[in-house]
Chains A and B, each alone.
Chain A
Amino acid sequence: AQTVTQSQPEMSVQEAETVTLSCTYDTSESDYYLFWYKQPPSRQMILVIRQEAYKQQNATENRFSVNFQKAAKSFSLKISDSQLGDAAMYFCAYRSRNNDMRFGAGTRLTVKP
């Protein structure tokens, strides 16, 4: 079974600086999707970025980018120019071809002014 591991329960970053959240996963599949979700205190899950495993190019969405290392099964999220509104729980997730989803346990990001 696929597993997703986020080894950093909590992270903090100074406003305007850069922070990287780590995620590793375990799978025997070659085709899958990876996601980063943001969860503010409202509990709503907001998609931050997604990556298709067959794409070598790292996905980028404005200040958010990933470092996808397929061989190492690593999928880290980099947040540049951190803003106060970035403070939230961040979940890494894996979706297999048959739509099974697995979530990491989350990383709580604090942004210091």
Chain B
Amino acid sequence: AAGVIQSPRHLIKEKRETATLKCYPIPRHDTVYWYQQGPGQDPQFLISFYEKMQSDKGSIPDRFSAQQFSDYHSELNMSSLELGDSALYFCASSLGPRGTRYEQYFGPGTRLTVT
């Protein structure tokens, strides 16, 4: 079965650079969630989108922005990167944010390293 696809899987950037992470949800899923997991930390919810509109907002820094496109894929844009942004970034998708199917299917994550 198709799963959530994230690209790239690994990314190395320098401080003050920008990065774009992409997430392709499971076909027919209309909701996307972004999480950040720093080394030794619990996943932190960043933001979610339902039908291309922001549905929930978590601890996403102002330097980050995200959007969901008409094909439901999502991109997380990160600017002015800091060393502390080094983390695993997970994307998850579901069918409806609070609809009949609550499960969130996680992608494999993108490992971002800021040097």
State the A residues within 8 Å of B (CB): 1, 6, 9-10, 37, 39, 42-47, 89, 91, 99-103, 105-106, 108
**Can you pick out 25 interface pairs between chain A and chain B where the beta carbons lie within 8 Å of each other?**
A6-B103, A10-B102, A39-B45, A43-B33, A43-B48, A44-B44, A44-B45, A44-B58, A45-B42, A89-B102, A89-B104, A91-B104, A100-B108, A100-B109, A101-B88, A101-B90, A102-B108, A103-B90, A103-B92, A103-B104, A103-B106, A105-B105, A105-B106, A106-B102, A108-B102
Q: Interface SS of chain B: helix, strand, loop or mixed?
A: strand
Query: Which B residues lie within 8 Å of A105 (CB)?
Result: 103-106
Q: Which of A1, A43, A103 has most B Cβ within 10 Å?
A: A43
State the B residues within 8 Å of A (CB): 33, 35, 37, 39, 42-45, 48, 56, 58, 88, 90, 92, 101-106, 108-109
Query: Which A residues lie within 8 Å of B58 (CB)?
Result: 42-44
Bound CA span A9–B48, Å? 20
Q: Pick the contact of B45: A1, A45, A102 (CB < 8 A).
A: A45
Bound CA span A6–B106, Å? 13
Are B102 and A9 touching (Cβ within 8 A)?
Answer: yes
Bound CA span A98–B58, Å? 27
Query: Which A residues lie within 8 Å of B101 (CB)?
Result: 9
In the complex, what's the smallest C-beta–C-beta distance from B3 to chain A, in angstroms? 9
Q: Pick the contact of A47: B42, B102, B105 (CB < 8 A).
A: B42
In the complex, what's the smallest C-beta–C-beta distance from B17 to chain A, in angstroms? 23
Q: Which of A10, A45, A89, A108 has most B Cβ within 10 Å?
A: A45
